[in-house]
Chain A
Amino acid sequence: MKAVSIHNNQSIPVKSIPDLSYTEFLEANTSLVINDRENHCVNYFGFPFEDGIRLVCCIANDHDHLIHISSTLLNIDREYPSFSSLHLSFEKFEREIHENFGIKYLDHPWLKPVRFPFNQYDTANTIANYPFFQVSGEEIHEVGVGPIHAGVIEPGHFRFSCNGEQILHMEIQLGYQHRGIEYLLLEKKKLLQRTTIAESIAGDTVAGHTTAFINLFESLSGFKATEDLRFSRMLALELERIAMHTADLSALCTDIAYQLGSAVYGRLRTPIINFLQVWCGNRLAKGLLRPGMTHFPFTQALAEKLNAVLDSFEPDFIEMSKKLFSLPSALSRFEKTGVVSEEQLLEMGCVGMAARMYGVSRDVRFSHPHDLYSDIQHELIIKHHGDVYSRAQIRKQEIIQSIAFIREMLKSIPEPKEAGEDLQPMGKNMLALSLVEGWRGEICHCAITDSSGELEVYKVKDPSFHNWLALAMSVRNNEISDFPICNKSFNLSYCGHDL
Chain B
Amino acid sequence: MLSFILIILAASIFTGIVNRVRSLVSGRKGPGLFQPIRDVVRLFRKGSVYSDTCSWIFKLAPSVSMATVLMAMLVIPFARTKGVLSFEGDFVFFAYVLALGKFFSIIASWDTGNSFEGMGASREALYSTLAEPAFFILIGSFAMLTGYTSFYDIFRTLHFGSYISYLLGLLATFVLITLAMIENSRMPVDDPRTHLELTMIHEVMILDNSGFDLGLILSTSYLKFALYGALIANFFIDIMPWYIAIPSFFGIQFLVAIAVGIWESFTARFRMSHNPQFIFILSSVSLLIFFGVMLVLHMFN
Could you list which residues of chain A lie within 8 angstroms of chain B, going by C-beta atoms?
A: 141-145, 150-151, 164-165, 253-260, 262-263, 267, 327, 329-330, 332-333, 337, 479-484
Contact = CB atoms under 8 A, between A and B. Distances in A.
A143 B115 CA distance: 6
A120 to B, nearest CB: 30
Given A150-B196, A257-B269, A259-B266, 13 more contacts: A151-B195, A164-B122, A253-B268, A257-B188, A257-B264, A259-B26, A259-B265, A260-B265, A263-B28, A267-B27, A329-B267, A333-B270, A481-B272
B45 interface: no
A143 B198 CA distance: 9
Nearest to B22: A259
Contact of A333 (B187, B265, B269): B269
B194 interface: yes
B116, B196, B267, B273 interface centre (most CB from chain A within 10 Å): B196
B25 interface: yes
A165 B199 CA distance: 10
Contacts of B193: 257
28 contacts: A141-B115, A143-B115, A143-B119, A145-B198, A151-B195, A151-B196, A164-B122, A165-B119, A165-B272, A253-B268, A254-B194, A255-B199, A257-B191, A257-B264, A257-B269, A258-B267, A259-B264, A260-B26, A260-B265, A327-B268, A332-B268, A332-B270, A332-B271, A333-B268, A479-B273, A481-B198, A481-B272, A484-B194
A376 B265 CA distance: 41
A387 B181 CA distance: 30
B271 A479 contact: yes
A482 B115 CA distance: 17
B140 interface: no
A258 B26 CA distance: 10
A332 B187 contact: no
Contacts of B22: 259
Interface in B201-218: none
B115 A144 contact: yes
Given A260-B25, A332-B274, A483 B198 contact: yes
B209 to A, nearest CB: 16
Contact of A263 (B26, B116, B187): B26
Interface string B79-117: 000000000000000000000000000000000000110
Interface of B: 22, 25-28, 115-116, 118-119, 122, 187-188, 191, 193-199, 264-274
A17 B259 CA distance: 70
Q: Sorted from nearest, which 6 A-B pairs have the closest CB atoms?
A: A257-B191, A263-B26, A257-B269, A258-B268, A329-B268, A256-B268
Given A141-B115, A259-B26, A150 B195 contact: yes
A255 B196 contact: yes
Nearest to B199: A481
B27, B271, B272, B274 interface centre (most CB from chain A within 10 Å): B271
B122 to A, nearest CB: 8
A258 B264 CA distance: 8
Contacts of B273: 165, 479
B26 A257 contact: no
A258 B266 CA distance: 7
B299 to A, nearest CB: 38
A332 B272 CA distance: 11
A429 B264 CA distance: 62
A329 B22 CA distance: 18
Contacts of B27: 263, 267
A482 to B, nearest CB: 7
Contact of B269 (A256, A263, A479): A256
